[in-house]
Amino acid sequence: MLKIGITGNIGSGKTTVSKVFELLGIPVFYADDAAKKVMTNDAELIKGITQAFGQDAYFADGTLNRRYIAGIVFNNELELKKLNALVHPAVFRAFDQWAAAQTNVPYVLKEAALLFESGSNRDCDYTVLVTAPTEVRIKRVMQRDSITQTEAESRNAKQMAETDKIQLADYIISNDNTQLVIPQVLALHQQFLTAPNS
């Protein structure tokens, strides 16, 4: 079974594209959702977060104190890297367990915002990048999250440049409002159905 990584910078529409693959019967693992779950159900990760950030990282009932963690990692690159270094391996473990449970499917998708940054692409047979011009992505994020242009641009600036990701990706889906996405997805779907494991 092939493992396909799919990513794209903020506002690119990677989740929308992933939903199209789901309509074709392809299971999709959403890494960002999984990250939230493993922070409260992966014992190894919970131990690591508690050791790195203190007992206040979790409430007495075992739920994550998100505000406390956010206060530490927000605008602190070193602390954010420390957190990511703990969370990414736990998400990898969750993906491996999830993928092993998928049967009778030709391939699975792993949707991850930090596919390349986390090194997660190395566990995938192929990678897909959803692209869109920066100004289009900024407008989408402003509308989606009801934030200012400055806030959207700030979020975008924290991500690896799309041009760098293009160099790393095996396939590109253009979601720039000028090309239809569904035919691009269908074409890739056909390729993945016949692609060998790399």
* Residue range 34-45, pLDDT digits in tens: 999 999 999 999
Residue 83 CB: number of other CB atoms within 10 A?
Answer: 21
**Pairwise CA distance, residues 37 & 91, whole Å:** 9
The pLDDT of 99-123, averaged and rounded, is 94
* Residue range 71-108, pLDDT digits in tens: 999 889 899 999 999 999 999 999 999 999 999 999 99
The pLDDT of 20-39, averaged and rounded, is 95
Give me the pLDDT at residue 166, please. 96
Q: Name the average pLDDT for the chain.
A: 94
Give me the pLDDT at residue 77, please. 87
Q: Where are the domains of the chain?
A: 1-27+107-198, 37-101
- The secondary structure of 27-68, three-state, reads CEEEHHHHHHHHHHHCHHHHHHHHHHHCHHHECCCCCECHHH
CATH of 1-27+107-198, one of 3.40.50.300, 1.20.1260.10, 3.40.50.720, 3.40.50.12660: 3.40.50.300
* Residue range 126-183, pLDDT digits in tens: 999 999 999 999 999 999 999 999 999 988 988 899 999 999 999 999 999 899 999 9
